[in-house]
């Protein structure tokens, strides 16, 4: 049975200097985290034609030169079936809370 994964990522645009936080959804056939190829396919399904930049840091760059230069960074992955238990709910709540917090200029 396929496992649902919610992939959270940030898109850092160079011009204008804007960061967008987005989410994607993918299904993995085994009980494991998505691999690099599956993450790349998920981002492509979200409309970003990307290639891996730093696999260890889970960052991606545009596959072809474009006017809009950007970098995508995977910030989190939550398995969909964890949404119904306390551990998964706590992780989702923490990720959602980050979206409402103002960035600390001192950090």
In tens, the pLDDT along 4-24 reads 999 999 999 887 788 899 999
Q: Tell me if 107 is assigned to some domain.
A: no
Domains contained in the chain, number? 1
Which residue, 21, 3, 1, 25, is CA-closest to 12?
A: 21
Residue 51 pLDDT exceeds 90: yes
Q: Please give the Cα distance from 72 to 53 (Å, whole number).
A: 9
Q: Tell me if 10 is assigned to some domain.
A: yes
Q: Please give the Cα distance from 69 to 27 (Å, whole number).
A: 28
Q: What does pTM read for this prediction?
A: 0.72
The 10 Å CB-count burial string (b at 16+, else e) for 65-104 is eeeeebbbbbebbbbeebeeeeebeebbeebeeeeeeeee
Q: Tell me if 59 is assigned to some domain.
A: yes
Is there a cis peptide before residue 16, judged by omega within 30 degrees of 0?
Answer: yes
Q: Tell me if 106 is assigned to some domain.
A: no
Q: Collapsing DSSP states into helix, strand and coil, what is residue 47? A: coil
Range of the domain at 69: 3-100
N- to C-terminal Cα distance for the chain? 43
Residue 40 pLDDT exceeds 70: yes
């Amino acid at each position: 049975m396929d496992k649902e994964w919610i992939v959270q990522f940030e898109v850092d645009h160079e011009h204008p200097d804007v960061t967008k936080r987005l989410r994607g959804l993918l299904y993995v056939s085994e009980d494991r985290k998505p691999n690099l190829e599956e993450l790349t396919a998920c981002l492509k399904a979200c409309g970003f034609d990307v290639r891996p930049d730093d696999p260890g840091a889970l960052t991606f760059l545009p596959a072809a030169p474009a006017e809009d230069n950007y970098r995508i960074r995977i910030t989190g992955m939550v398995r969909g079936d964890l949404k119904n238990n306390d551990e998964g709910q706590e992780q989702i709540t923490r990720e959602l809370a980050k979206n409402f917090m103002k960035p600390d200029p001192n950090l």
